[in-house]
Amino acid sequence: MILKFLRHLNRAYGFLVFAIYLAAFGIAFLFIFIFPPATLALLFLSIMGLLVFKALGSVLLTVERRWNRARLAKGICPECGAAALSVVVADAGAMQCGVCEVRHDAQGAWIKPVVPEPRAVQA
């Protein structure tokens, strides 16, 4: 449950931070007319916030990878929980689940699936 939430949070983290900054921009834009110093404060707060968000993102990713490594070491797929890690991909010790076909590298990081581009249809 927590791992699933952490996984979804990590995969959407960039969009989440972008949404927070977009909301901050909207608030700052409104404060230009109401209370201009708040806009300046929000600007500097958001610049410093980049460091905080970057550090938080690294921590969340590290926690998920450790959790994934522990499950992979037991032979359990971190994604679906099946004990079907039958396929070991040759590149850098990546493991692929036989049930959900999700791949993880040796450090426990999720490997984004490569989706082939659709072929052009000849009319």
Residues making contact with Zn ion (CB under 5 A)? 77, 79-80, 82, 97, 99-100
**112 phi and psi, to 5 degrees?**
-65, 130
Q: Sign of the CA dihedral 56, 108, 97, 119?
A: positive
Asked whether 64 and 28 are in contact (CB, 8 A), the reply is: no
Shorter beta-carbon distance to Zn ion: residue 28 or 104: 104
By C-beta, is 28 or 72 nearer to Zn ion? 72
Beta-strand runs (E) in the chain: 87-88, 95-96, 103-104, 110-111
CB of 12 to Zn ion, least distance (A): 20
CB of 33 to Zn ion, least distance (A): 53
Token pair for 117: 């581009």
Residues 6+ apart with CB under 8 A from 25: none
Shortest separation between residue 115's beta carbon and Zn ion, angstroms:
18
CB of 15 vs Zn ion, minimal distance in Å: 24
Q: Which is nearer to Zn ion, 72 or 97 (CB)?
A: 97
Nearer to Zn ion, 12 or 100 (CB): 100
